[in-house]
Amino acid sequence: MATARGGEVTIRDLSKSFALGGRQLAVLRSLNLDIRSGECLVIVGASGSGKTTLLRILAGLEKADGGGVAIDGREIDGVGEERAVIFQEPRLLPWLTVLGNVAFGLEVRGVPKAEAEKRARFYIALVGLAEFSDAYPTQLSGGMAQRVGIARALTVQPEILLLDEPLGALDAMTKISMQEELARIWSEENVTMVVVTHDLEEAIYLADRVLILPKEKGGAARLIDVDLPRPRDRSESRFVRYREELLREFGLH
Amino acid sequence: MTLQHIERPIGIGRRDGGNGFGTEALRLAGRASARILSRYGLLLGFLALWQVAASSGWVNAAVLPPIDAIVAALWKGLAGGSLLGDIAISLQRAGLAFAAAVLVAIPLGLVMGQVRSVETALDPILQLFRQTSALALYPVFILLLGLGEASKVFVIFWATLFPLLLNTISGVKEVDPKLLEMARVYGARRLTIFRRVVLPGAVPSIFVGLRLGATTALLLLIASEMIGANKGIGFQVMNAQYNFQIPLMFAAIVILAALGLIANQALVSLQRRLCRWSNAVG
């Protein structure tokens, strides 16, 4: 629907550590990375590798200790209107209907209610929930609730969509159908997408490039180009080979 | 588009083709009376036992008068108007105190739940006051405010304040921080977050406080009216007992119970209207 509008991310010498029992534990060590406008970058890594931390820094929810992040050449400082985040939990407001929740992001940004709801309806339809506009979150299944969260993020028409294990809490069947849906939305919306996941198949299904964060000190982050036609076929031999390559990275194959 | 398995409640009863309307109605009526019996059966049994025990002399009818004598005393007091003045003054005392407690506790609780420094400063003194029984302080209030209306309203206000305040504070503090973060991501400022996330999120807990507060207000109402009052339902309970008008005493107790039920029911239906989302479970 939209044309590419930027959404280029430049990460320079980014480092972050946490205090843990009196010691400093480094999770990100001078990371450099360029995320291209409109690409889908998937970040994988063992737990504790800092993938969620990296996403939260990109979102502006956490500050880096050193280095910085620029979006379209501008250094970021906190949250910004060009970004939207989809969390692992849908994080819906239980007292608002689906429509109210999806319009929420626009409303807090000062868009008049009628206009916000009009745009919200478009994205509710896009995620296939048009007949549930008036339902409350308690009436939705996990997959439906997560779609409402996705619609809410899309409604503010961000240049960059940040997804933190967005399908991590869903059952296997719902997960696969939601991966297809995310891939479709990404291609239709022409948005830069940064996805954190620990599901390697999901990474290959969605990614233009996969970033593998190292677990141990001194290890280097690795980037793998996923050169497969879309929509992707999980059973295709090249898909399987990418999966084996990623498994090897984790020493599991 | 993907398919999603959707479970929706089915609101329409199934109707079997062969059955006539009469049997259907009979079955519905049977089901309705079964429901009433399972809910109120024990209560009806209790009342029946009381009536039989009192009227057949198993218990001393002068101490536990039969139900019909209590109902007659109640009717006389209400229709004759002698109890209406007591009800009015009691409602005024409890109502004033409850309203004042709401006006103080809810805004204060919202601020205390949001601003840590205010809570830190006020918490020790509130804990001390809360742990001191309001009834123990009643003589102090009488010394300060006299034996008239002011001390009565104040002691009710005092006791009602704490359940309201504490529930409002915890309501604000227990709003899911993940929702606050979500609002922050969309650029919501502090006041917007308060208005759109914190306040609606705290409403269920505030209602818990309101219902507890209403119960407390009625409790303290009676206690305060038993000391140094010459009007009010609480006074009538005591006075009827002194004068050995036992059916009248029970009639006053029944009125108190009814006031408590009505107040609670009013708050429950208000909550249902304001929090449709929380019981809209599919």
Tell me if chain B has a CB within 8 Å of the CB of A201. Answer: no
Same domain, B153 and B117: yes
Neighbour-count burial for B139-158, b at 16+ CB within 10 Å, e otherwise = eebbeeeeeeeebbbbbbbb
One-letter identity of residue A248:
R
What ipTM does the predicted assembly reach?
A: 0.91
Residue B142 lies in a domain: yes
One-letter identity of residue A208:
D
Contact A193, A115 (CB under 8 A): no
Chain A residues near residue B277 by CB distance under 8 angstroms: 94-96, 136-138
Two tokens, residue A95: 């007292």
CATH number of the structural domain spanning residue B126: 1.10.3720.10
Residue B6 lies in a domain: no
Same domain, B55 and B171: no
Q: Which of B181, B201, B280 is facing A61, going by the closest CB pair?
A: B181
- Asked if the Cβ–Cβ distance from B282 to A139 is below 8 Å, we say yes
Mean pLDDT for chain B overall? 88
pLDDT surpasses 70 at B106: yes
- Asked if the Cβ–Cβ distance from B178 to A89 is below 8 Å, we say yes
Contact B262, B191 (CB under 8 A): no
pLDDT surpasses 50 at B16: no
Same domain, B41 and B140: no
pLDDT surpasses 70 at B279: no
pLDDT surpasses 50 at B134: yes
In angstroms, what separates the C-alpha of B16 from chain A's closest C-alpha? 29
pLDDT of residue B280: 43
Same domain, B27 and B83: no
Same domain, B47 and B152: no
pLDDT of residue B240: 93
- Name the residue range of residue B30's domain: 21-61
Same domain, B34 and B87: no
CA distances for A234 relative to A184, A193, B3, angstroms: 16, 21, 19
- What's the mean pLDDT in A107-117? 95
One-letter identity of residue A62:
E
Same domain, B138 and B259: yes
In angstroms, what separates the C-alpha of A74 from chain B's closest C-alpha? 18
Q: Is A92 exposed, middle or buried (0-12, 13-18, 19+ CB in 10 A)?
A: buried
Given 3-state DSSP classes, what are the helix, strand and coil percentages for chain B, each rounded to the nearest 5? 80, 0, 20
Same domain, B41 and B86: no
Angle at A215 between CA A213 and CA A219, to 5 degrees: 75
Tracing tokens 């843990």 back to the chain, one arrives at A20
Contacts of B91 (CB under 8 A, 6+ apart): B259
At A167-208, the pLDDT tens digits run: 988 888 889 999 999 999 999 888 999 999 999 999 999 999
At B214-228, the pLDDT tens digits run: 999 999 999 999 988
Task: Collapse the DSSP code of A194 into the 3-class scheme (helix H, G, I; strand E, B; otherwise coil) and give the result.
Answer: strand
In angstroms, what separates the C-alpha of A242 from chain B's closest C-alpha? 26
B114, B115, B118, B122 alpha-carbon torsion, rounded to 10°: 30
Give the CA count within 13 Å in the CB-facing half-sphere of B62.
2
Same domain, B93 and B205: yes
pLDDT of residue B85: 93
Enter the DSSP assignment of A46.
-
At B198-211, the pLDDT tens digits run: 999 999 999 999 99
Same domain, B224 and B178: yes
Q: Which of A79, A137, A144 is facing B184, going by the closest CB pair?
A: A79
| Residue B5: band (very low, low, confident or very high) from pLDDT cuts 50, 70, 90 | very low
Tell me if chain A has a CB within 8 Å of the CB of B188. Answer: yes
Mean pLDDT for chain A overall? 91
pLDDT surpasses 70 at B137: yes
Q: Is B212 exposed, middle or buried (0-12, 13-18, 19+ CB in 10 A)?
A: middle
pLDDT of residue B20: 60
At A52-83, the pLDDT tens digits run: 999 999 999 999 999 999 999 999 999 999 99
Taking the C-alpha atoms of residue A230 and residue A100, their distance in angstroms, rounded to an integer, is: 34
Residue B118 lies in a domain: yes
Question: In angstroms, how far apart are the furthest CA atoms of chain A?
Answer: 54
Two tokens, residue A43: 């970040």
Total of domains in chain B: 2
- Asked if the Cβ–Cβ distance from A108 to B192 is below 8 Å, we say yes
pLDDT surpasses 50 at B8: no
Contacts of A30 (CB under 8 A, 6+ apart): A13, A14, A15, A66, A67
- Asked if the Cβ–Cβ distance from B281 to A84 is below 8 Å, we say no
Residues 5-34 of B with CB under 8 A from A: 5-7
Contact A151, A129 (CB under 8 A): yes
Contact A105, B186 (CB under 8 A): yes
pLDDT surpasses 50 at B4: no
pLDDT of residue B276: 78
A252 or B209, higher pLDDT: B209
pLDDT surpasses 60 at B81: yes
- What's the mean pLDDT in A15-38? 88
Same domain, B196 and B260: yes
Domain residue spans of chain A: 1-82+159-253, 93-157
pLDDT of residue B234: 94
> What's the fold here for domain A1-82+159-253?
Rossmann fold (3.40.50)
Q: Which of A83, A95, A138 is facing B281, going by the closest CB pair?
A: A138
Q: Which of A95, A109, A138 is facing B187, going by the closest CB pair?
A: A109
- Asked if the Cβ–Cβ distance from A95 to B275 is below 8 Å, we say yes
**Cβ neighbour number for residue B37 with a 10 Å cutoff:** 11
Same domain, B171 and B265: yes
